Amino acid sequence: MKLEVAALTKCYGQTRALDGLSLSVAAARVLVLIGPSGGGKSTLLRVLGGLETADSGTAAVNDHLLSADPASLQAYRRKNGFLFQQFNLFPHLTALQNIALPLEKVHGHSPAVAKQMAEQALARFDLLDHAHKLPTQLSGGQQQRVGIARAVARQPEVLFLDEPTSALDPEMTAEVLELIQELAEAGQDIILSTHEMGFARAVADQIAFVAAGKIEELAPPASLFGDPKSPLCQRFLSRVMRY
């Protein structure tokens, strides 16, 4: 996975979520974004995923230059997978239907092919026995696993994950993190934000510390956690890794 980001800015009213952010990654399988809440991680993820457009600056993912053209962004989004803090499953659809419907309506597969692909995705994550359950009949960890299955059912080029365990208890968090690590080990390109520092250290090729709308530091896990150079990163890690 290759990223080239230059001078990105994104404002929401008076708030500068991204403030001239630049980032260059020549090759990485997993890029993890860490940093304080409100620092710009989610906004950066949404811009890189084509869900938001920056006010200024440029961003390219795997040499695909993101533009504000709706048709171009739609085609780009269809190549990738997304999972955000909330499960965002359709409450009136079964687990199987939650995966099959986008494959049919967004990606143009026939109902039979969409169902087959959905079943394969559920089986991959040991969820086939829960295929006909509604989201309310699933645990939080199972719901998030269905969300991941939906995101990877079409073998996305890049999987974008925004704090995928923020709504889960510790046991379910471990379950979902293990699943994400398995995806990374299987070769899936991933960009994710997380507050789970141990997980970030274990799974990332590169870690970007994001604060105040900028990349304060970018380094491999051993360097960033072992010898952070940025004072902001030093302060952040000293707090979050104290206990």
The pLDDT tens digits along the chain (243 residues) read 999 999 999 999 999 999 999 999 999 999 999 999 999 999 999 999 999 999 999 999 999 999 888 999 999 998 999 987 666 899 999 999 999 999 999 889 999 999 999 999 999 888 999 999 999 999 888 888 899 899 899 889 999 999 888 767 777 788 788 888 888 888 999 999 998 898 899 889 999 999 999 999 999 999 999 999 999 999 999 999 876
Q: Is 105 helix (H, G, I), strand (E, B) or coil?
A: helix
Task: Clarify whether residues 167 and 71 are in a common domain.
Answer: yes
Alpha carbon separation from 102 to 82, 105, 107, 141, 148 (Å, rounded): 12, 5, 7, 21, 13
Left, alpha or beta for 16 (phi > 0: left; psi -120 to 50: alpha)?
beta
Task: Clarify whether residues 25 and 139 are in a common domain.
Answer: no
Provide the CATH number for the domain around residue 208.
3.40.50.300
Cβ atoms of residues 107 and 113 within 8 Å: no
Task: Clarify whether residues 60 and 30 are in a common domain.
Answer: yes
Last residue of a domain, one of 155, 179, 195: 155
Task: Clarify whether residues 194 and 144 are in a common domain.
Answer: no
Task: Clarify whether residues 71 and 164 are in a common domain.
Answer: yes
pLDDT at residue 87, rounded to an integer: 67
Task: Clarify whether residues 24 and 140 are in a common domain.
Answer: no
Decide: pTM greater than 0.75: yes
Work out how many domains the chain is built from and give that number: 2
Task: Clarify whether residues 12 and 65 are in a common domain.
Answer: yes
Task: Clarify whether residues 183 and 64 are in a common domain.
Answer: yes
Question: Domain limits at 187?
Answer: 1-80+158-243
Task: Clarify whether residues 186 and 118 are in a common domain.
Answer: no
Task: Clarify whether residues 12 and 36 are in a common domain.
Answer: yes
Task: Clarify whether residues 174 and 107 are in a common domain.
Answer: no
Residue 7: which of 57, 65, 59 has the closest Cα?
57
Distance separating alpha carbons of residues 111 and 104, to the nearest angstrom: 6
Last residue of a domain, one of 108, 132, 155: 155
Q: What distance separates the 2 farthest-apart alpha carbons in the chain? A: 55
Last residue of a domain, one of 133, 155, 177: 155
Task: Clarify whether residues 62 and 120 are in a common domain.
Answer: no
Distance separating alpha carbons of residues 40 and 226, to the nearest angstrom: 24
